[in-house]
């Protein structure tokens, strides 16, 4: 089970956090205990063995998972993670958050998630392809455009999705573009999908800064993680005139008080693979990114990084969760007590699943939209969701997280209610 980093023995796991959030929402909404039990239990889980022939001829057996938390509102939807920390409980938590995220943004999906317990950095491209194809064939009975639609997450990318789509299609005997999202453009990907999570994070961050009386132009920000989400978030923040003063990745962190040149940093990362050593920047400890004196903090790496042990050191006025579950339950309360506004993951990073939905619609219709259309519809949905959650939170005197979770849980509950219980 994934424990939160640097936390005390009493700190919660991500699954504890996800379950606690559901319990709080159920209590606020006054739902019956049997509804709580149904919403807490994943509908389907599969654990698969992935025998991998390594490049040196040896065979290693990896473990993979796919969890479908809920599909009352439509097919399961959720990423596939390749990471050494992946376990069933982490996948369960992430699948539950996907259910709420899809309901909150009103995309017609349930929630799912998958993962393989592997550190992709230790494997060649050929080995990663074999892992992906075997994992896909093992979970193939569960996935499909009308069943469950995977997408990229930590440690996977559009190439992984192309292999998944190809493997699934070979098994079916024809090309099935709608089985995954986050694909390359050449095989039915959507324009704007690659940067959609980051674009959504920044659309919401700008609204949140304005809400607390900080003009985005000239505001300061720190971003943890420089992968698919963090890197784009830094880029779009810079375009909004925000000074991105600190960023980190798994190797280390860099700082520049006047704001890092994000375009130059991206080119540097493309060339070297890390933010560490970026010319003109000062190296800092990774933890200092989380405690930097900035207006906005975007944790966009992994879960559990803001916990009871460091929450009181967070200096940002606004925390926008680019990652899933970066703030533990205990830390959430401590940040609130210190007047830090936390924009929850199920709202903040939902841009990815919104454009995944657009990609699926385009793939199923074989009719492609322009990048401007995708961007306009994405920003419109994210901004609307921000205002809806803010209004609900204000009206019911709840945190943004609890408000967002209540709105989502209520929508899923309504779907359960009208469908009825089979048999
Ligand atoms: P990624 O693998 O592309 O990037 C992860 C980044 O985090 C890398 O730069 C890595 O070096 C860095 N990192 C890892 N451990 C770190 C640490 N301890 N300190 C600092 N940096 C660290 O993954 P991603 O797709 O960008 O996902 C990041 C987070 O966003 C995850 O929580 C994921 O579930 C969530 N998310 C991703 C998407 C998406 O569309 N990719 C959508 C919604 C949510």
Global pTM reads: 0.96
Atom of ligand 1 nearest to the CA of 349: 43
Rounded to whole angstroms, the Cα distance separating 317 from 175 reads: 48
Q: Determine which residue's CA is closest to atom 38 belonging to ligand 1.
A: 153
Ligand 1, atom 36, lies closest to the CA of: 323
- Catalytic residue check, 77: no
pLDDT of residue 12: 82
Instruction: State in Å, rounded, how far the first CA of the chain is from the last one.
Output: 34
| Distance of CA 227 from the midpoint of ligand 1 (Å) | 5
pLDDT of residue 4: 43
User: Are 45 and 90 within 8 A, CB to CB?
Assistant: no
Cα–Cα distances (Å) from 37 to 15, 33, 41, 46, 139, in that order, read 15, 6, 6, 20, 26
Give per-residue pLDDT as tens, 157-196: 999 999 999 999 999 999 999 999 999 999 999 999 999 9
In sequence order, the β-bridge partners of residue 64 are 48, 116
d(CA 369, CA 104): 24
**Residue ranges in the chain whose pLDDT is less than 50:** 1-9
Per-residue DSSP letter, 185: G
Q: Please list, in sequence order, all residues whose beta carbon lies within 8 angstroms of the beta carbon of residue 291, skipping any fewer than 6 positions away.
A: 310, 313, 314, 315
- Residue of 230, 231, 247, 255 with the most ligand 1 atoms within 8 Å of its CB, for mutation: 230
Q: Which of 101, 113, 183, 228 does the annotation list as catalytic? A: 113
Which residues contact ligand 1 via a Cβ below 6 A? 152-155, 197, 224-230, 248-250, 286, 300-302, 322-324, 349, 352
What are the tens digits of pLDDT across the range 15-74?
999 999 999 999 999 999 999 999 999 999 999 999 999 999 999 999 999 999 999 999
- Ligand 1: residue whose CA is nearest its atom 27: 154
346 contact partners, CB below 8 Å, separation of at least 6:
97, 100, 101, 104, 401, 404, 405, 408
Task: Please give the distance of CA 107 from its chain centroid, rounded to a whole number.
Answer: 15
Q: In the prediction, which pLDDT does 10 show?
A: 52
- Pocket test residue of 154, 276, 289 for ligand 1, highest count of atoms within 8 A of CB: 154
Instruction: Copy the structure tokens of residue 47.
Output: 């654990």
Going from the Cα of 85 to the center of ligand 1, the distance in angstroms, rounded, reads: 13
Three-state helix/strand/coil letters over 63-101: EEEEEEEECCCCCEEEEEEEECCCCHHHHHHHHHHHHHH
CA 111 / ligand 1 centre spacing (Å): 19
Q: Can you give the pLDDT at residue 157?
A: 97
- What's the 229 CA to ligand 1 centre distance in angstroms? 6
Interatomic CA distance for residues 81 and 84, integer angstroms? 10
């Amino acid at each position: 089970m994934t424990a939160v980093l640097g936390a005390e023995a009493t700190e919660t796991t991500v699954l504890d956090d996800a379950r606690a959030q559901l319990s709080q929402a159920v209590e606020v909404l006054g739902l019956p205990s049997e509804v709580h039990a149904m919403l807490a239990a994943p509908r389907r889980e599969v654990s698969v063995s992935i025998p991998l022939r390594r490049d040196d001829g040896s065979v290693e057996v990896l473990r993979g998972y796919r969890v479908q938390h809920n599909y009352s509102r439509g097919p399961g939807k959720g990423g596939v993670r390749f990471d050494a920390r992946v376990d069933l409980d982490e996948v369960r938590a992430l699948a539950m958050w996907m259910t709420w995220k899809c309901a909150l943004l009103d995309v017609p999906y349930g929630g799912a998630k998958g993962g393989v317990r592997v550190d992709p950095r230790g494997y060649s491209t050929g080995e990663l392809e074999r892992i992906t194809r075997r994992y896909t064939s093992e979970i193939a009975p569960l996935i499909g455009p009308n069943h469950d639609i995977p997408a990229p997450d930590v440690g996977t990318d559009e190439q992984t999705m192309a292999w998944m789509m190809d493997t699934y299609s070979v098994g079916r005997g024809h090309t099935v573009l709608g089985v995954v999202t986050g694909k390359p453009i050449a095989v039915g990907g959507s324009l704007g999908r690659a940067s959609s999570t980051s674009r959504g994070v920044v659309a919401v961050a700008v609204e949140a800064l304005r809400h607390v009386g900080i003009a985005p132009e000239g505001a300061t920000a720190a971003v943890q993680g420089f992968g698919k989400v963090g890197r784009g978030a830094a880029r779009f923040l810079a375009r909004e005139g925000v000074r991105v003063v600190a960023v980190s990745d798994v190797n280390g962190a860099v700082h520049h008080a006047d704001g890092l040149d994000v375009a130059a940093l991206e080119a540097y990362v493309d060339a070297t693979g890390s933010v560490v050593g970026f010319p003109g920047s000062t190296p800092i400890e990774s933890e200092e990114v989380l405690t930097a004196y900035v207006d906005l903090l975007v944790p966009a790496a992994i879960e559990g990084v803001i916990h009871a042990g460091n929450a009181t050191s967070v200096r940002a006025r606004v925390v926008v969760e680019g990652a899933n579950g970066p703030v533990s339950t205990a830390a959430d309360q401590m940040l609130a007590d210190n007047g830090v506004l936390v924009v929850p993951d199920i709202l903040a990073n939902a841009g990815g699943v919104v454009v995944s939905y657009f990609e699926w619609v385009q793939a199923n219709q074989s009719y492609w939209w322009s990048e401007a259309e995708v961007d306009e519809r994405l920003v419109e949905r994210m901004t609307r969701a921000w205002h809806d959650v803010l209004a609900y939170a204000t009206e019911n005197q709840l945190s943004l997280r609890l408000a967002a979770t209540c709105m989502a849980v209520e929508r899923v509950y309504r779907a359960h209610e009208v469908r009825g219980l089979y048999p």
